[in-house]
Structures are given as C-alpha cells and as structure tokens.
C-alpha cells in the first residue's frame, strides 16, 4: 500500500526529511547538517555533491528511524533554499563549481553596473524582483564568466543550470528530468511573472544562454520518477515542489487573499498571498509566484531579511556568548528590557525594504551597564524589528491591514521573541502545532498530485493552532520604539 509522503526540505545549513501520512502524523523526522564554505568575505558556497550525499543519507536514516518500508512512499515532495545556483555537466552530472548560495554577495558590482545602465526598471516590471545579488540570474552569469570553458559549453547545450530543486530532481531521476517549478523559477531574475516563461529580454540582459535552463512546471505535478537512488525503489513519483518560503505559505494554509506568514530560519521571510494577479511593490518588497496548483496561479508579496536565526548562531559561534542557540531566550529574559541596546543584524547586507548589500551589522547603545542579557535581547528584538519594517511596507502596498500573522521555523518556538513580535507589529501572532510548515507544504503539494489529499480545503481543516500571542504595547510605546529602530538602521 502506497499511503505515505516523503518530504525533502533542503535548507541552507542542513537537509530535513519528514515521512507523514494522510492524518499529518509524522512517522519519522531526520536532519543532517552539511558544510558551509566561505572562500572570502561576502562569498558563501555549498558543495552540491555534499548536499546530495546529505539528502540520500537523511532519506535512508528517516526510513530506518520510522521503520517505514520505502514501498509505502506514494510520492516525494521537495522544498529548498531558493536562489542558490548550481551549474553541472549534463553528461556526468558533475558540478562545474561549488553552488553559489543565496546569501552570497559577490555579484554586487554587477548589479550596480546593471542599475547604472538603466536595466532595473525592466527587470522589476517583468520579474517583480530587484537587481540584487540575492537572486540567481547574476550568479549564473558569474559562473559562466569565471569558470574556464563554461560559457562555450553552455552555448553548446552541454551544461544545465538549476536551483536546488532542479538539481535534486535531476539526481533523483538519474538525469532523466531537468525541471523546476514556477515558484523557484520566479526567483531567478529570468522568468516573466505574467507569462510564467523564461524571458528572452532578461536572458539577453544577463547573458544567459537558454540552452542551460530547465523546463518550468506547476508546483503540484509529477516531474519524474526515482531511478537508481540509494535506499529508494525505482518509480516513486516526484510530485510536488516549491521554494522554501512559498512552501511554508502553503503549509500554513494561507490559501486566501491577504493571509500571511513569517518563517524564522537562517534568514526570515514574510509573505502575503495577493491572489491570482501580480502586484508590484512600490516600497522595497518583491513580488513572487506563490504556487501553481490545478492550473491556478497564486502570487505573493515578500519581504526577506537575510539574517535571523543566523544572528543567534553568530552569538554562539562567533562571540561564544552562548553554548547552544536554545540558551538565548533564558539569557534575554535575565533583563527586563534591552537597556537601550539595539542590534541591526546586517551581517551580509540588508534585504527588504532597504536592499543595501553594503550595509553592515550595528550594535548601538552600549554602556558600562550593558551585559550579555541586553545583547541577547537586542538580537531577538532586531530580528522582530526587521519584520515590522517589512509588514508596514506590505500593508501599504496591498492596502490591507494584517490582523493575524502565522509564524513558523525554528525561532518561532522562542516565546519571548514571538511576544515582542506581536507587540511591535500590533497584530496577533499565531503559532501552529506543526511548525515544520516548509516540509509540510512540499508534502501537501506532492500529496495533492498523487491523491493523498483531495483538495486544499481538506488541508486547511487539518491545520491546528498551538498558541496565539496578543500585542501588549500601547500605540505610543510601539511608535517610539519604531522611531528609535529607524534611527539605528540608518547607521548600518
């Protein structure tokens, strides 16, 4: 009996595999981290072969942990770190270079050059994105221009480009399928938001040969079937894909216009469902494809902060202030407030709504009375302040006041931060019982394609709330803090 979904959540620092059934019971969950590579300041890379090894190992260990027969897997869902860029040889599947990670800033000079040449307006109109090193297009150009012989091979059709979803499907199908879904494709700077096709004008601007591009498919769709995958039988459909943040929006059952979620991971990402028509932001947000299911497309406004949980990791690994990330809540609670200390975690530049790749982290307000607790509290508040800036822009762009924000990701377990988030936003924060919403979103998309769930309403009925955080600040207190934060951000 094929009654289970295997969901692969391939993230920035590790790979998680969930195995779940129709009732959303998680039969197994396994995570494995992999190495980060920092060749020079501002550069972040992954080894694609290490990602694939971590993925197959995590699948095998999840099956063993849950004592689950792989023959019960009805379909595989994939969600992934989005803009991370890989180019590989079609003949032997070997990458031509390490993957360039979404956090990487090496193409900032190219983005500035394109802006000066007047290309940003066209790019924004067609893609809904901004010209920033974050997105895949300039990373592709860098690889083709800097790896010996790459451009010539690309133009001859010998190379394949993909974001992580594309690479995993290629490997899972033993090179039979070179595909992506619309949500991931919309993060490349190469897809026209309205036609959902690769755009010749954008390809020309970024000097990307069309021969390397994958086929763009819906988010709930049978892309191919497993072949020669260690630990899995041949023939399992790979049936659902979405970029991690769109998958989280789907996993939070934000199916209706105006529904929003924020995911707190390495970075933090706030998305609002804006329905079947793309709306371009005038306030520093990006417009993205949320998903395409049953021939229907949903779009989203998105604000991305490059550093969220990574700021806590920096306190742990860089400053050695804490031994484990979970210690930060207790340390932050050891003081009644931030003591006038503010931390702007612009450790790799600022994302939405500022889009300043040259910004750097700032800690302000330190006195002789400042202690570790104040720094810890300022870190958590800095993560929350970033979402306040994004949601303020989102409400103005959409013309909708957010009354409820669903949250997920590891840091949403931090009650102190979630309460401050509610306080500074002035809206209810709702945490679900299942905070692995990214993996659940990919599972739902795959399950819809293979018939595990009949429709989105069945999924919505399965979504359950864990806790609601209600704002406690008065309006003046909220506005005073927001004003102070604005002053500090200006120094970054």
- List the chain pLDDT tens, one digit each, 492 residues: 789 999 999 998 899 999 999 989 899 999 998 999 999 988 999 999 999 999 999 999 999 888 888 999 999 999 999 999 999 999 999 999 999 999 899 999 999 999 999 999 999 999 999 898 989 999 999 999 999 999 999 999 999 999 999 999 999 999 999 999 999 999 999 999 999 999 999 999 999 999 999 999 999 999 999 999 988 999 999 999 999 999 999 999 999 888 899 999 888 999 999 999 998 888 889 999 999 998 899 999 999 888 898 899 999 999 999 999 989 999 999 999 999 999 999 998 888 888 887 899 999 999 999 999 999 999 999 999 999 999 999 988 888 888 889 999 888 889 999 999 999 999 999 999 887 899 999 999 999 999 999 999 999 888 888 999 999 999 999 999 999 999 999 887
Residue with tokens 């008065």: 474
- d(Cα 179, Cα 161) in Å, to the nearest integer? 10
Which residues make Cβ contacts (< 8 Å) with residue 319, sequence separation at least 6? none
- What residues have CB less than 8 Å from 288, skipping those under 6 apart? 128, 129, 183, 186, 187, 246, 271, 299, 300, 301, 302
The two beta strands, 73-80 and 4-10, are: parallel
User: Tokens in use for 295?
Assistant: 């021939």
Token digits of residue 232: 């899995």
CA dist 182 and 305 (Å) reads: 22
Distance separating alpha carbons of residues 232 and 230, to the nearest angstrom: 6
Measured between alpha carbons, how far is 400 from 407 in angstroms, rounded to an integer? 19
Helices marked H in 410-489: 415-425, 437-450, 456-462, 475-489
Cross-strand pairs, 198: 191
Q: How many CB atoms within 10 Å of residue 242?
A: 34
Q: How far apart are the C-alpha atoms of 165 and 453, rounded to whole Å?
A: 22
State the pLDDT at residue 401: 84
Token pair in block for residue 175: 């090179």
Residue closest to 385 by CA, chosen among 299, 307, 464, 296: 307
At 133, list the tokens. 């090193």
**Reduced to 3 states, what is the DSSP secondary structure of residue 285?**
coil
By DSSP bridging, strand 197-198 and strand 428-432 are unpaired
- CA 211 to chain CA centroid, Å, is 27
| Closest listed residue to residue 165, CA positions, set 10, 6, 33 | 10
> DSSP secondary-structure letter at 95?
B
The pLDDT assigned to 363 comes to 95
* Cα distance between residue 344 and residue 311, in whole Å: 10
Cα separation, 122 vs 112, whole angstroms: 15
Say how far apart CA 461 and CA 484 lie, in whole Å: 42
Q: Which two tokens stand for residue 308?
A: 């969220």
Structure tokens at 206: 């970024």
Contact 211, 260 (CB under 8 A): no
Nearest CA-CA partner of 385 in 410, 421, 419, 352: 421
464: buried, middle or exposed (CB in 10 Å: 19+, 13-18, 0-12)? exposed
What is the dihedral sign for C-alpha 144, 147, 152, 154? negative
**pLDDT of res. 241:** 97
User: Which secondary structure element, helix H or strand E, spans residue 45, and what is its range?
Assistant: strand 45-46
Q: What is the 3-state secondary structure (H, E, C) of 351-413?
A: CCCCCECCCCCEEECCCCCCCHHHHHHHHHHHHHHHHHHHHHHHHHHHCCCCCEEEEECHHHH
* Cα distance between residue 315 and residue 386, in whole Å: 18
Peptide bond into 353 cis (omega under 30): yes
Residue 333: name the closest of 381, 369, 367 by CA. Answer: 381
* pLDDT for 39: 94
Q: Which of 359, 343, 342 is closest to 351 using CA atoms?
A: 359
Distance CA 365, CA 347 (A): 18
Name all domains of the chain by residue range, CATH numbers in brackets. 4-245 (3.30.420.40)
Q: In sequence order, which residues have a C-beta less than 8 Å from that of residue 379 and are 6 or more positions away?
A: 311, 312, 315, 328, 332, 343, 345
Residue corresponding to tokens 């039969």: 27
Cα–Cα distance measured from residue 308 to residue 310, given in angstroms and rounded to the nearest whole number: 5
């Amino acid at each position: 009996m094929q009654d289970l979904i295997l969901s692969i959540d391939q993230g920035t620092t590790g790979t998680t595999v969930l195995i779940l059934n129709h009732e959303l019971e998680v039969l197994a969950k396994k995570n494995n981290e992999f190495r980060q590579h920092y060749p020079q300041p501002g550069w972040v890379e992954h080894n694609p072969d290490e990602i694939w090894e971590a993925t197959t190992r995590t699948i095998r260990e999840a099956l063993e942990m849950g004592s689950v027969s792989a023959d019960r897997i009805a379909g595989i869902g994939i969600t992934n770190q989005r803009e991370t860029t890989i180019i590989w040889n079609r003949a032997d599947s070997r990458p031509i270079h390490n993957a360039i990670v979404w956090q990487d800033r090496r193409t900032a000079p190219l983005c500035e050059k394109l802006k000066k040449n007047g290309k940003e307006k066209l790019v924004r109109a067609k893609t809904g994105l901004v010209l920033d090193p974050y997105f895949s297009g300039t990373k592709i150009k860098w690889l083709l221009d800097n790896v010996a012989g790459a451009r010539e091979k690309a133009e001859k059709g010998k190379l394949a480009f993909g974001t992580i979803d594309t690479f995993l499907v290629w490997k899972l199908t033993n090179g039979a399928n070179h595909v992506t879904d619309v949500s991931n494709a919309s993060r490349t700077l190469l897809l026209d938001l309205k036609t959902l096709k690769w755009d010749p004008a954008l390809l020309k601007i970024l000097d990307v040969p069309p021969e390397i591009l994958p086929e763009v498919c819906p988010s709930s769709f049978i892309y191919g079937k497993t072949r020669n995958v260690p630990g899995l039988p041949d023939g399992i459909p790979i049936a659902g894909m979405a970029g991690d943040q769109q998958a989280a929006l789907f996993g939070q059952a934000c199916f209706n216009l105006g529904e929003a979620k924020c995911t707190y991971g390495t970075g933090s990402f706030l998305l609002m469902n804006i329905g079947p028509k793309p709306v371009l932001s005038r306030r520093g947000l990006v417009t993205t494809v949320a998903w395409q299911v049953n021939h229907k497309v949903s779009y989203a406004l998105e604000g991305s902060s490059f550093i969220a949980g990574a700021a806590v990791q920096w306190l742990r690994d860089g400053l050695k202030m804490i031994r484990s990330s979970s210690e930060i809540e207790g340390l932050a609670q050891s003081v009644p407030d931030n003591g006038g200390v503010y931390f702007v975690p612009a450790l790799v530049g600022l994302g939405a709504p500022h889009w300043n790749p040259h910004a750097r982290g700032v800690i302000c307000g330190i006195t002789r009375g400042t202690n570790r607790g104040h720094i810890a509290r300022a870190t958590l508040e800095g993560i929350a302040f970033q979402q306040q800036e994004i949601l303020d822009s989102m409400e103005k762009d959409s013309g909708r006041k957010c009354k409820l924000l669903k949250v997920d990701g590891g840091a949403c377990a931090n009650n102190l931060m979630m309460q401050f988030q509610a306080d500074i936003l002035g809206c209810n924060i709702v945490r679900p019982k299942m905070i692995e919403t990214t993996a659940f979103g990919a599972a739902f998309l795959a399950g819809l394609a293979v018939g595990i769930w009949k429709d989105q309403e069945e999924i919505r009925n399965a979504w359950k709330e864990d806790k609601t955080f209600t704002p406690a600040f008065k309006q003046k207190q909220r506005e005073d803090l927001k004003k102070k934060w604005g002053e500090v951000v200006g120094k970054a």
